Structure 1
């Protein structure tokens, strides 16, 4: 099951909603991971947009929930705008800040809203005979900044979205590669068997630092050329 909500709208269109949140990550003394707020918002927006775009939706607005403090608003918006710039998206930001009470740890939520034609969803379209791979490495916490060169870049993600022989793209979250693969295969009515990969199958991928793709074998060379050393094929046992 994809981490997006489809809401019937009008004239064959649907609203698409995707969200991400983070807690205990920021600039407060009790935060477990210390990073500037623009980076916190950048990665939260990254996840929400990747979820939205991967199913074929067009983004129209983003909602920011700021549980840090009023003064963090502009920094958070700066991070979201950076994500938009990398994806070449220009949409409005709205939201709310907690100004009545102070918190001892940071918390931020980002919701992306878009639309899609009902019969053009990029879900459950992987056929039998497709191949599977992971692009980028699963990282979480401090690793996200320390090993940022191993994260799938948004520019590469955008390129992969345009590849006609890539069937589905699934941002990998905290449940890891194996879980997302299982969900993808089940959604397509494909038999599930054990598999192997050079990456840890059960490690958290944090803010979607890696993605799962299904693709036609004919495009593997092109995908490898684009992803370079971030390409990790999934091998299924006979």
Structure 2
């Protein structure tokens, strides 16, 4: 069994089973939810995170599972509608199963999402066992930030309510995944850009060379949480053009020996 980012790989004869999961808690329309949000949108963004992780490695989802801390009707039904929209827009019609809490009258929202997917050995090896040739391609490429990291009320007020359009969209992630010029995609999580770059350094045995575009140097917080995968790192041969917020961050080279 291998891991990469927040994904788990289980070796099978014809490829790998990939498990992606995420949780959302305290966000919803119930009494004790900290951030108030429509249940449909709660479901959408809860599913968005693991879907982006799978699209990033070009894995094919097979089953979506939800575990919800709310009653089925009406709250869970709305959450499931949001999950279904992400699923169908990214992978089409798939089995969607799960469970709801219909015995206890809960006062806050909790959503667990698990997606079971598959990927070929060739596709998986690019991130869990990269070849020397693939690493050379990475060295000849640039690192880009696509989407602006936002979290919590900032994300709610600016993106969901304000429609600023600075955070990565599902459509943009699908386009990034489809473009073979993009060698590596890595969603940014709660630990921020710097942490995810360190993951890439360790994975490929390379050293990051920081070179942020002048217009964005004061705008980029390398340690800020990106909330529900509001931004993604892209190692690419060409500058991504599928989204309006794109920043070149530098590149990767072999580590210098002291």
Cα–Cα, structure 1 residues 210 and 159, in superposed 2: closer, same or farther, change >3 Å?
Answer: same
| Counterparts of 2:57 and 2:24, CA distance in 1 | 23
Q: How does 1:26-37 map to 2 (within 5 A)?
A: 26-37=28-39
Aligned equivalents of 1:133, 1:48: Cα separation in 2? 21
**What stretches of structure 2 of length at least 5 have no aligned partner?**
160-164, 254-258
Compare 175-184 and 101-110 and name the one that shifted more.
101-110
**Which of 98, 101, 124 pairs up with 1:98?**
101
Determine the C-alpha separation between the residues in 2 that align with 1:42 and 1:80.
5
Is 1:215 the counterpart of 2:218? The answer is: no
Structure 2-normalised TM-score?
0.83
Match for residue 70 of structure 1?
Answer: 72
Contact 1:199-1:232 at 8 Å conserved across structures: no
Which residue number in structure 2 is paired with residue 235 of structure 1? 250
Q: Secondary structure at the match of 1:48?
A: helix
TM-fit CA distance, 1:167 = 0.6
Matched, 1:155 2:171: yes
- List aligned pairs for 1:6-25, cutoff 5 A: 6-9=9-12, 11-25=13-27
Cα drift, residue 193 of structure 1: 5.0
Runs (4+) off by over 3 Å: 192-198, 235-238
Shift of 1:236: 6.3
When the two chains are superposed, the root-mean-square deviation of aligned CA atoms in Å is 2.0
CA distance in 1, matches of 2:113, 2:101: 14
What SS class does the counterpart of residue 206 from structure 1 fall into? Answer: coil
Aligned partners of 2:54, 2:234: CA distance in 1, in Å?
15
- C-alpha distance in 2, partners of 1:130/1:139? 26
Q: d(CA) in 1 for partners of 2:122 and 2:151? A: 35
**Unmatched segments (≥5 aa) in structure 1:** none
Determine if contact 1:38/1:77 at 8 Å carries over to the other structure.
yes
Count of residue pairs the alignment pairs up: 231
Aligned with 2:53 (options 48, 51, 54): 51
1:135 aligns with 2:146: yes
Q: With the length of structure 1 as denominator, give the TM-score of the two structures.
A: 0.90
C-alpha distance in 1, partners of 2:31/2:180? 47
Distance in 2 of aligned mates of 1:105 and 1:73: 12
